[in-house]
A and B are shown apart, each in its own frame.
Chain A
Amino acid sequence: MALKIIASMCSGCSACEAECPNNAIREKGGTFIIDPAKCTECEGHFDAPQCIAVCPVDNCIKKV
């Protein structure tokens, strides 16, 4: 249970980084990556994954 940022679509805006309740998102080479070991898809925190909700690019973050 984890989400993945499609690097080629990521605009590097950093909106997701601040919203992640698990601190699972960090910058790498101008785009962002999700640590699958930390990602819970926001279960227990919020109704929907926060990174997907705030990401300005549609379909940039997907389930793996």
Chain B
Amino acid sequence: MSHTAFISIGDLRRGRPALGDAAPAGAGGCSSSGGAGKSSCGSSAGPEDMPAEIWDKVKNHPCYSEEAHHHFARMHVAVAPACNIQCHYCNRKYDCSNESRPGVVSQKLTPEQAVKKVLAVASAIPQMTVLGIAGPGDSLANPKKTFETMRLLQQHAPDIKLCLSTNGLALPDWVDEIVKYNVDHVTITINMVDPAVGEKIYPWIFHDHRRITGLEAARILHERQMLGLEMLTARGVLTKINSVLIPGVNDEHLIEVNRAVKARGAFLHNIMPLISEPEHGTFYGLTGQRGPTAQELKAVQDACAGGANLMRHCRQCRADAVGMLGEDRSDEFTLEKIEDLAVVYDLDKRRAYQQQVELQRQAQHQAKVDALAEAFDAGLADDGLKVLVAVASESQGLVNQHFGHATEFQIYEVGAGAATFVGHRRVDLYCQGGYGEDEQLPSIVQALADCHAVLVAKIGACPRDELKAAGIEPVDRYAHEFIEKAALAWFADYRERIASGAVVHQPRGDARIRQGAFTGTAAA
């Protein structure tokens, strides 16, 4: 397979207009960045640019609000194994329990088993506010199982928000049911709005009792996706669009996708990297289709910024994931283990706990605002310099993790007066690994190769030297400070050092997105 049309990051940055046109009605939305300049979902009262009822829907949803994911958890129940389309990036046949990617589950559930699991998890994890049905196939190719699960959950756990994920092919047929079961959020995976692009991603669809291939298949899928999205928008259901960035196939095309879904009222757009390791056994994996680099992903995300809110904190979780984003506790809640759990679904207790979390969140948000106000240096002229910094953080928006304990780093883009969250980089090991700790460091350096500094709570002498040798500055003097404040302080210092001639600013290279698996439960 040849891929000659790789995205040119420079071209994207130079040539593309901001996609601010065609703003949808009623889809204001919060920035997923949490950065300065645009109101984020971090405000306890709700951002000014969003109607209160929409804020109410997203404020505790870890996928819809970057800020909420530090406080609230979600779970997926794997009741929907069947699928009505084939995607070249998907393979549901193999499962490694350490593997974290969409389509992978350890155990398929009946709706009754799923509800039992939800109740068990909700009693053990009171901050679990959202239940999603995300496969391992397509939730709407399994409508009986999906909606029976929703119906039972409304009976037994009425406080839990429901969402589902679909490829959109069957969506127009089920919009009324989605509304009937009070599903708050729907995610549609849309990788193209041009059937000629779709033909390269979808070998076939099953529609109207026929298996359809080629251009016709992609055309039908596209039309059904757009129709379904419009119908959901018209009924006030919040939608998130997932797009898989496939270099050479739909990379630049995703800018058109962004425009098209925004025009139809999509609330959030999540552009995520293709996962295509050969051992996953997907068509793309076996034919050598590569995933994007970190900078290619960022270039497309940045080119789409300016209108539809971009989700940057997606962890591409399993179809049976449990817990906070970025951690997977599904192993603790297998059916066998649930049998032994005493399930007491105490709604009042859950509400009380969540109120407590909300109070902490407000206090933390206020502290951050205060800290930022202090750090903002109005006198700093904007010379256009922007650099990436990586941050080791385990909680509360603070630089508070030891370098050696980090399984992922948060990446911030820092310039004059603004530190903006742009994503995260996983640095965990492959499950088929055989890597020891000594071999881990080069992989961390590869994952952070486009960053100028790493902010940590603490770091040992050995990794410090290796990072320095790779041109990345290890920084531990802002331990336990708020991330944005620390990043701005480091940046001001960095600029002073450039001005004084102590350092010469060098642009950094590209970084590798780590594919594969979590090796254990990550810290939240």
Q: Show the binding face of A for B, using Cβ within 8 Å.
A: 11-15, 17-19, 46-48, 50, 52-54, 56-57
Contact = CB atoms under 8 A, between A and B. Distances in A.
Given A48-B211, A53-B210, A18 B142 contact: yes
Contact of A56 (B83, B108, B210): B83
Given A12-B81, A13-B83, A54 B92 contact: no
B141 interface: yes
A52 B206 CA distance: 10
A56 B86 contact: yes
Contact of A15 (B82, B93, B108, B210): B82
B82 A18 contact: yes
A47 B82 contact: no
A47 B208 CA distance: 11
Most chain B CB neighbours (cut-off 10 Å) among A46, A47, A54: A54
B209 A14 contact: no
A47 B210 contact: yes
Contacts, number: 49
Contacts of B136: 13
Given A13-B83, A48-B211, A53 B206 contact: yes
Given A53-B206, A54-B206, A15 B211 contact: no
B228 interface: no
A45 to B, nearest CB: 8
Contacts of A48: 210-211
Contacts of A15: 81-84, 137, 141, 206
10 nearest interchain CB pairs? A15-B82, A53-B211, A11-B93, A54-B206, A14-B82, A14-B81, A46-B209, A13-B81, A13-B82, A56-B86
Interface of B: 81-84, 86, 92-93, 108, 136-137, 141-142, 144, 206, 209-211
Given A11-B92, A11-B93, A17 B82 contact: yes
A12 B86 CA distance: 15
A21 to B, nearest CB: 9
Nearest to B87: A56
A54 B84 contact: yes
Contacts of B137: 13-15
A51 to B, nearest CB: 11
A50 B478 CA distance: 62
Contacts of B108: 12, 14
Given A11-B93, A18-B142, A54-B82, 12 more contacts: A13-B81, A13-B136, A14-B81, A14-B137, A14-B142, A18-B82, A19-B206, A47-B210, A53-B210, A54-B206, A56-B86, A57-B93
Nearest to B137: A13
B139 to A, nearest CB: 13
A12 B83 CA distance: 11
Contacts of B206: 15, 19, 53-54
A35 B108 CA distance: 23
A4 to B, nearest CB: 19
A11 B108 CA distance: 12
Given A18-B82, A56-B83, A56-B86, A13 B92 contact: yes
Contacts of B84: 15, 54
Contacts of A52: 211
Contacts of B83: 13, 15, 56
B486 to A, nearest CB: 47
Question: In this complex, which of A12, A13, A46, A50 has the most chain B Cβ atoms within 10 angstroms of its Cβ?
Answer: A13
Contacts of B210: 46-48, 53
Contacts of B92: 11, 13, 56
Contact of B209 (A11, A13, A50, A57): A50
Most buried by B among A48, A53, A56: A56
A62 to B, nearest CB: 16
